[in-house]
Structures are given as structure tokens and as C-alpha cells.
Structure 1
Amino acid sequence: MKNWKQMLLSLTLSAGLLTGAAVPAVAAAPQQPAVKVNNQTVEYKSGSPVNNQGTTLVPLRATLEAMDAELQNAAGDTIYAIIDGKAVTLKSKLTVINGVTYAPVRVLGDAAGYEVSWDAQTRTVILKTKTAAGGSQTAVNTQGGRGFMWEVQSNGNTVYLVGSMHIADESFYPLNAEFEEAFAEADYLGVEIDISKAADEASQKLVLDMGMYQDGTTLKDHISSETYAKLGEVLKQAGVKANALDQFKPWVAETTLSSLKSATAGYEASAGIDLYFIQKAIERKIPIMELESYESQLGMFNNFSKELQEANLLSAIENYDQIDESVDVMAEIWKSGNDEQLLQLTNSFSGDAEYYKAMLVDRNIGMADKIDGYLKNGKNEEYFIVVGAAHYLGEHGIVKLLQDKGYTVVRK
């Protein structure tokens, strides 16, 4: 149980859970992103790019001007612009910060015909016109991967089941064309939770209510002195004060620690498969349905026994230097779309009964039941479901649960 694979499961099945919430504020805040258009850094006179819940938001007017486009008007969730001499209407959630209107950079770049990539080392969003993209850029944007997708049809309805990596990097893109084609026809997007809402006031309050001690005690009162000392050393190694997480419970410390390390390796929720499709759903204005809730996911971690919480935290501490390598393993499995390797990885998580039941077994049952409901409603609709890849295979996986309900599940 105390190995990198279990720590990896926490990271890749519920990564993004604390994205944008109050907890990461105790950690060393990464520098805000920069933007380059055809190798020229965009100089912003009013406002600057910000990372919001894993999405890079940029000042709308200045970014369009840097791409030789002109903003005509922006209101609500609609942008009117002149791109290549043509009037274009874009749909995207707009944010006003200190009087400056911001929009997701990927939405703007895609609309203006740019390749959009992310340089994790320099924390720079790179926009290159498709005709001007160099060889190295083309290599990054054509690598992508097969990924995991299954199709289920019943009663006139179609459900696509997509396996996500909640944290990723630009090497995952472009996605398999079958993903994009299926999503283009979807009437609904289904995700575990809509992590684009993770930073709202209600979500932050949930983290504080569940993840912080309310009785005057601190983390060192609830874990061994040895574990606490090791945590302090790792936090200092990460450039954070040794007592930075004292207010929080072990499960919060574990998740924050793992997210810190994976981000330095270039894996971020901003490039995650589920957030990618959430942003696209917002652009298309199709409903986003949550198969779980923010409260249920937080509650699952919070309800782990004291012993399991400390064991998971200790595993994250002892494997801190290997976290990026561990995510590399999952990333390669995802890109290759290798069902056998995914099944082996999923089965390897069963070492601790409490952990396995909460993280996979119980959640899979709940999600499979909701998918069953979508298939039975007889509305002749298409559902595009994106949940962590490890939820699908194995004796307790969503695919088997749907097959047990009588459905034919086809690997795509």
C-alpha cells in the first residue's frame, strides 16, 4: 500500500480537486504565465496573464491586437472580433479583473488560427501561426496519443466513455480525432466534477471546513513526529516554510505536496483532458453534468481513517522525488492507449481495502448508475463522459459494471 502507485492514484484520479481553492495558497505560488506570439513576448500595459483554476486567462483586447486581430465588442459570454478581415463571434466565459476583460488564451488562439502550446519550464503560453510553426513546435503538437474511449449505444442514445488524465501537458495534444468528432456531436458533457468552478466561494469554504482543523489542534498533533519532521524537510526542499501546512489535515497535505511536485515537472490541471473538454463545452454552450460533487470528493478524503491519511502522506513524502517519474508512467500508458497496462496499473491499487473501496469501487458504482440513467432516458441524445482512466477497467470498473447491466461496450 505504501508505494508510489497509490500516491499516483490520488494524484491522477482526483487531481484538480484543490485547484484554485484556498489550500494551495499556503504553498509557493508559481509565477504568473507569460504569452508569446510568434516568438514575441506580449507586453501588457493594462493587466497581465493569470492562471485561474488551471486556465490561463489573458487581457482580451491586448492579446487580440498581438495576434493582428481587432476587438469590436465583448459582453456576457460573447466576443465580437475582426480576424483576418472577417467578423467573428466567439463564445467564452469572460472575466473582469480590475476593470480589464479577460478570456481564456486557448479560445482566442484557436479562433485566430494559432497553434497553442505550453512551455512548463518558462511558464509561457506559446502562440504560433500554423503556417509559421517550426519543426519543434509541429513535433509537440502532433504527438498527442491514442488515449482511452469506449462507446455504448442503447434506446436511441449514445454514450462515449473517455478516460482522462486530470493533469497533463501539451504533449497530449492534439487529441485523437475520434475524441473531437464524438465531442462535436455531443449534447452533454459529463465529468466527475466541474473543476472550472473549484475557486468559487462555496468550494473554497468546503475545503476550509473539511480540510482544516477546527478544534485548535494542528497537523503535528495528529501524525507522528517522524512523519511531521519528514514533511517539513520536503516542504523546505520545495521552497515552502516547514510549517506551511500545519492548519490542514494529512489528506490536504498529501494532495498539495503531490500537486506541487507534478507542476514543477510540467503536468498541470490547465492541460488536463477533462478541463480541455470543459472549456470546449463552455464555448459550445452545452450542459456540463457532474457525475459526482465537489463535496463528495472532498468528503471521501476527509473520511479516510487517521491511519490511512498518515500512510498516504508518508508515501507522498517518501516518493516526492519520484512523483514526476510516476506521472510519466501514467502519461505513457494514456498516450499509448494500452488497455492491458491500464488494467495492470488499476489492479495494483487494490493493496489497501479501505483506500481501494473508496477511491474506485464505490465511486465506480455511482458513476455507472448515472450513465445507466443516461442510456435509458430514450431522448436520442449523445453523452460525452470524461472521468479518470483508472475508473474504467477491471472487475470493479465502469466498463464491467455496464456490461453487467446488459450493455455492449465497444472500445474505440
Structure 2
Amino acid sequence: MYLFGTMHVGVPAFYPLEPRIAEAVANAPVLALELDPNPSPFAASRAVDKYGTLPKDAAGGYAELPEKKRAFLDEEIRGAGMDPRNAHRLKPVLLAALLSVAEYEKLGYRPELSTDRELARMARANGVPIVELESLDSQLDMLNRLAPPDQWRFLDESLDSLESGAQRKEARNVVDAWGSADRHALDQVAQRTAADNTLAGRFTREVLIDGRNVVLASKLNDLLEKHNGAVVAIGVLHLLGERGVPALLAAHGVTVERVY
């Protein structure tokens, strides 16, 4: 099995991917991704409505944010290409996640040029089936594991990180490390993630990364028993550290060789 760490954003300079991954995809019995990068608009809209939208009778909300913070939030929302009136319907953790992605876009990295999309395009061009390891419903539902007060605290911490520039700096660090296959820089990303003890940092690490890693590793182990030469592509942060997917696979007795 080939396990490839992806970026969910990209630039033209990322492509073409090097020949060995192109050859692996062309000859693979299956390409496994977190999600198919081309979901139906109806399915995406339905999932957001079900899991990512505030109930109409939700107490508090964006109207109760301090005036200065709300003004900054609405500026960030507009900078991400969204209408604040629509964005205020979203649960705070989902909105924080969307604003985080927008930081990559402000640096010139584009979701439509993600390596996930490129690998899916390559697979389809070669008639290779694509399977999803997760679902959009399951990903959005994870955001609801925080109690409502903590969701607002998550947004508050995220806004502080945006305002200080820390989030944009880390976005650049991650892409630069990935683009140059810099092991030391990637390990530093993992160390910073492990050391972040803010509520947002703990939730991201424990639920959005480590919690998903356990499930992903189990599914990859099953896939390895069914197919030889499969290509699996998941976000690069899932490959890092002692609780990363490669480490979990190794703990299951799988021999893991790091190529990059």
C-alpha cells in the first residue's frame, strides 16, 4: 500500500506530481481518500444543514459577541468570500474551520488545486475506483462534540489566532514543509500541535486528528488485507507524530517504510 500525505489546497507549482506516485495511482486497484473531492452539491448542502447550522431558537449567538470582535469576524467572513448574514447561520466551530481554510487561500493556495483533487483526476483517467474512508456527515458531526459554550470559545480562540497572524503563519509553515518534504519541519508541526493546550488546540488534536487517526488506521488495515498496491491519500497532518496513522499501523504489525 502507498500512503500519501495530501494538502487540501494547492498551487499550479505542485504539479505534475512526481512519476512514482502517478505510476502507483495508474496501477492501483483502488484509490482511497478521506472524501471524494467532488461531492454532489445537494449532498454537501444537506450535510451542512443537518450538522453545521445553528437551530433557529439558539440562544446568544453572533449578536452577543463584543462589538469589536464581531466587526473583525464579519471582516474575515467577507474576506473569505461569504456573506455575514449567511455565515451567522453556521455553528461557530464550522465557521472557524472555513475561516481557517480561507487563510490558505489568502496565501494563494486554492482548494480546487488540492492534491486530493489531482489524485482523484488521475484515478478517474485510469479507470481506478475511488473509495471514501469517511463521509461529509461524519466529519461535520464531529464538530458537534463540543458543548455549545465551548463551541463559542473555540471560535473566540480561532479569531484571536487569526488576528495575531499566528494561523496564517502556521498555514504557510505546513505548506512549505509539505512542498519540500522537509521531515524536520513536518515533525515540528506535529510538536506544535501536540503542545497546543488551548481548547481549540486540544479539540483539534484529540478529536479532529488523533480520534480520526484510530478509525483511519483500522480502515487502512482492512484495505491492506483486501488489496495489493492500493493508494491511500489523507491529509498530511494525519501522518505525523506518535499517534499518526503510520505509527498506528506499525503498532498493528504492519511494516512501514517512510519514503519522503
Q: TM-score band, normalised by the shorter chain?
A: 0.7 to 0.9
List gaps (5 residues or longer) in structure 1: 1-158
2:177 aligned residue (295, 316, 333): 333
Per-residue deviation, residues 90-129 of structure 1 (Å, max 9, x unmatched):
xxxxxxxxxxxxxxxxxxxxxxxxxxxxxxxxxxxxxxxx
Q: CA RMSD in A?
A: 2.4
Question: Which residue in the other structure is 2:135 paired with?
Answer: 293
AA matched with 2:56: D
Q: How many residues align?
A: 251
CA distance in 1, matches of 2:244, 2:102: 29
Question: Which residue in the other structure is 2:44 paired with?
Answer: 203
Question: Which residue in the other structure is 1:384 paired with?
Answer: 231
Equivalent pair of 1:168/1:267 in contact (CA under 8 Å):
yes
The structure that has the greater radius of gyration is 1
Equivalent pair of 2:26/2:128 in contact (CA under 8 Å):
no
Deviation at 1:245, TM superposition (A): 1.8
Question: Which residue in the other structure is 1:167 paired with?
Answer: 9
Deviation at 1:184, TM superposition (A): 1.9
AA matched with 1:289: V
AA matched with 1:335: G
1:212 aligns with 2:212: no
CA distance in 2, matches of 1:207, 1:172: 30
Kindly tell me: are residues 175 and 219 of structure 1, through their superposed partners in 2, closer, same or farther at Cα, counting changes over 3 Å?
Answer: same
AA matched with 1:300: M
Kindly tell me: are residues 186 and 368 of structure 1, through their superposed partners in 2, closer, same or farther at Cα, counting changes over 3 Å?
Answer: same
Equivalent pair of 1:219/1:247 in contact (CA under 8 Å):
no
Deviation at 1:281, TM superposition (A): 1.6
CA distance in 1, matches of 2:64, 2:130: 39
CA distance in 1, matches of 2:133, 2:81: 37
Equivalent pair of 2:6/2:116 in contact (CA under 8 Å):
yes
Structure with the largest fraction of strand: 1
Matches within 5 A, 1:6-405: 159-197=1-39, 199-217=40-58, 219-220=61-62, 227-235=69-77, 242-320=84-162, 322=165, 323-350=167-194, 351-352=196-197, 353-377=202-226, 381-405=228-252
Kindly tell me: are residues 389 and 261 of structure 1, through their superposed partners in 2, closer, same or farther at Cα, counting changes over 3 Å?
Answer: closer
Deviation at 1:324, TM superposition (A): 4.5
Bigger relative contact order (CA 8 A; separation at least 6): 2
What SS does the corresponding residue of 1:295 show, helix, strand or coil?
helix
Identity of aligned residues (%): 26
**TM-score, structure 1 as length reference:** 0.56
AA matched with 1:405: H
Deviation at 1:305, TM superposition (A): 3.2
